[in-house]
């Protein structure tokens, strides 16, 4: 059971639309969508955009309604143990243009760089700027990740604690990302 403190959205939350949106957002399948988007380091609302539009149509296009939805999503995720990672993340969709991204409190942000002469050679570090990377190689910035899912799938890293220790000790960890076989 989730508890919502509407604060500055009290009058909108008290309306029929506000009550319907809260009920919608707290459905187990929608909470799962919010968490899945967050686990993929995406703004949480990206996980429910289509369902929101289907359920509420143009009613969710009003700025005040979108702001209340973001406020509600934050409280839902915080009650599930998530913390704010970054606000005002650009979202290329409808109805949202900017949204908040959440992470688990024990997640640590890593930055990946690609070897320009061998794109499967990746150096992972904890800094985007002034990262200490292996010398003798030209590196280009590739990606940021914090979730265990992205670490495992994209970089083959199964133990983020061990990765963090290696990065702390050496300044980086080098991994080789082999090409996956395509299904015929």
- Domain spans of the chain, in order of start: 7-103, 110-176
Q: Alpha-carbon distance 89 to 40, whole Å?
A: 14
pLDDT digits (tens, 9 = 90+) for 45-84: 999 999 999 999 999 999 999 999 999 999 999 999 999 9
Q: Which of 108, 139, 107, 114 is nearest to 126 (CA)?
A: 108
pLDDT digits (tens, 9 = 90+) for 14-46: 999 999 999 999 999 999 999 999 988 899 999
Q: Alpha-carbon distance 72 to 21, whole Å?
A: 9
Q: What is the pTM of this model?
A: 0.75
Residue 71 in contact with residue 7, Cβ under 8 Å? yes
Average pLDDT along the chain = 94
SS percent in the chain: helix, strand, coil, step 5? 45, 20, 35
pLDDT of res. 107 = 87
């Amino acid at each position: 059971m989730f508890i919502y403190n509407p604060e500055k959205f009290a009058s909108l939350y008290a309306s029929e639309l506000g009550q319907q949106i809260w009920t919608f957002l707290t459905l187990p399948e929608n909470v799962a969508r919010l968490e899945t988007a967050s686990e993929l380091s995406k703004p949480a609302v990206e996980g429910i955009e289509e369902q929101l539009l289907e359920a509420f149509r143009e009613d969710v296009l009003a700025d005040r309604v979108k702001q209340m939805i973001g406020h509600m999503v934050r409280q839902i995720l915080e009650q599930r143990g998530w913390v704010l990672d970054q606000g005002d993340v650009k979202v290329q969709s409808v109805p949202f243009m900017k949204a908040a991204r959440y992470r688990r409190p024990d997640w640590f942000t890593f930055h990946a760089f690609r070897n320009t002469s061998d794109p499967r050679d990746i150096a992972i570090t904890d800094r985007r700027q002034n990262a200490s990377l292996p010398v003798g190689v030209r590196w280009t910035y590739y990606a940021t990740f914090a979730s265990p899912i992205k670490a495992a799938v994209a970089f083959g890293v199964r133990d983020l604690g061990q990765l963090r220790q290696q990065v702390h000790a050496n300044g980086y960890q080098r991994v080789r990302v082999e090409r996956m076989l395509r299904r015929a």
